[in-house]
């Protein structure tokens, strides 16, 4: 599996690696696979796992990305270092940015450089909680922000482009025919996911628009 190999490669060259996970359907399946088939293959104690984004609910709320990450992966990894977004807190975004700045080594521009960010993409082309038309798309200074999303009932806390694009590796995991229209627009440089620089895409034939009719 490419992800397991990448994580092991990171650890071979580093004393410690910093990785961020997204929520969503495809990351759920990936977390389950890592927990069930690669638990012994990776030196998890040499990883710190952050969250890319979460809804502004309690950690154990059924709508929480953190709960998904915990239930599918983290509970099987007692030695891994984890940093949840406590998104229901009023200053959750500021506190998470402070944590990233204090824990993650910075690049030459002074931005924390995560070793790997795992991203998904929604049917509307959003990634993280960077949705079409959201003010967070224009953020150039803050690394983590709280954002209200038109049409959604819950605000989110999300990493922004300055932080995501500073990561050493940016991987998209996308599957399903429902993502094909958005992916076609991303390939043309449109929609929020297209603004993630130099990303590597792991995408199934249906999402790539190659499904058999």
Give 162-197 pLDDT, tens digit per residue: 999 999 999 999 989 999 999 999 999 999 999 999
Which pTM was predicted?
0.93
Give 97-145 pLDDT, tens digit per residue: 999 999 999 999 999 999 999 999 999 999 999 999 999 999 999 999 9
Looking at domain 2-203, its CATH architecture is: 3-Layer(aba) Sandwich (3.40)
Give 35-64 pLDDT, tens digit per residue: 887 777 788 888 999 999 999 999 999 999
Q: How far is CA 91 from CA 18, 65, 79, 85, 86, in A?
A: 23, 18, 28, 11, 9
Q: Other C-beta atoms within 10 Å of 89: how many? A: 15
CA dihedral sign of residues 10, 3, 163, 22: negative
Torsion of CA 172, 176, 182, 188, to 10 degrees: 60
């Amino acid at each position: 599996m490419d992800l397991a190999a990448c994580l092991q490669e990171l650890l071979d060259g580093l004393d410690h690696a910093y990785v961020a996970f997204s929520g969503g359907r495809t990351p759920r399946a990936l977390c389950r696979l890592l927990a069930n088939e690669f638990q012994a293959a990776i030196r998890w104690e040499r990883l710190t796992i952050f969250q890319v984004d979460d809804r502004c609910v309690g950690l154990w709320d059924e709508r929480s990305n953190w709960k998904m990450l915990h239930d599918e992966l983290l509970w099987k990894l007692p030695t891994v270092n984890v940093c949840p977004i406590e998104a229901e807190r009023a200053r959750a975004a500021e506190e998470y940015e402070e944590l990233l700045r204090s824990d993650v080594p910075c690049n030459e521009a002074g931005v924390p450089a995560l070793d790997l960010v795992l991203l998904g993409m929604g049917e509307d082309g959003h990634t993280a909680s960077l949705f079409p038309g959201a003010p967070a798309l224009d953020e150039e200074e803050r690394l983590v922000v709280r954002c209200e999303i038109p049409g959604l009932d819950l605000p989110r806390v999300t990493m922004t482009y300055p932080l995501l694009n500073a990561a050493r590796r940016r991987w998209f995991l996308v599957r399903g025919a429902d993502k094909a229209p958005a992916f076609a627009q991303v390939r043309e440089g449109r929609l929020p996911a297209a603004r993630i620089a130099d990303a590597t895409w792991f995408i199934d034939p249906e999402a790539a628009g190659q499904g058999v009719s």
